[in-house]
Amino acid sequence: MISIDKTPIIFVVDDDEGVRDSLAIIGESSGYSTRVFASALELLDAVDARHVGCVITDLRMPGMSGSRLQEALIQRDILLPVIIITGHGDETVSANAIKAGAVAFLEKPFSPEKLVDNIRRAIDLNLVQHKGES
């Protein structure tokens, strides 16, 4: 049995520095260790299937979008739950993201409490997933 001795990590992906910074501070003040990335590709270079935690990603970003990142993670068998945040209320994209397994789809500006709730839910879910695997 592989013990889940790893500390959960919040992976933040946003091309906007201010938002990225604030997400990291929220994550840390909620008691999680947090890593920030300015693009989806940077994150994909840094994560693998053994990581525990969750991903918070912006939807619209130069290069790879948040929903494409979600697909890429699934392809790589990375089970990190994804929370998507966006500046546009785009219902189609939102529905598709949820269908593809996103934990939450939050529209900016969102309530920080709601984000924290979703973070906890996502991490708990991920911990359960890992436990199930082991």
> Which residues make up the interface to other proteins (CB under 8 A)?
16, 18-19, 21-23, 25-26, 29, 60, 85, 87-88, 108-113, 115-116
Please identify, using beta-carbon distances, which residue of 51 and 65 lies nearer to other proteins. Answer: 65
**Would you say the C-alpha torsion 33, 37, 40, 44 has a positive or negative sign?**
negative
The residue type found at 71 is E
CB of 62 to other proteins, least distance (A): 11
CB of 46 to other proteins, least distance (A): 22
**Which of 91, 109, 105, 89 minimizes the C-alpha distance to 19?**
109
The CA distance from 15 to 62, in Å, is 8
CB of 16 to other proteins, least distance (A): 5
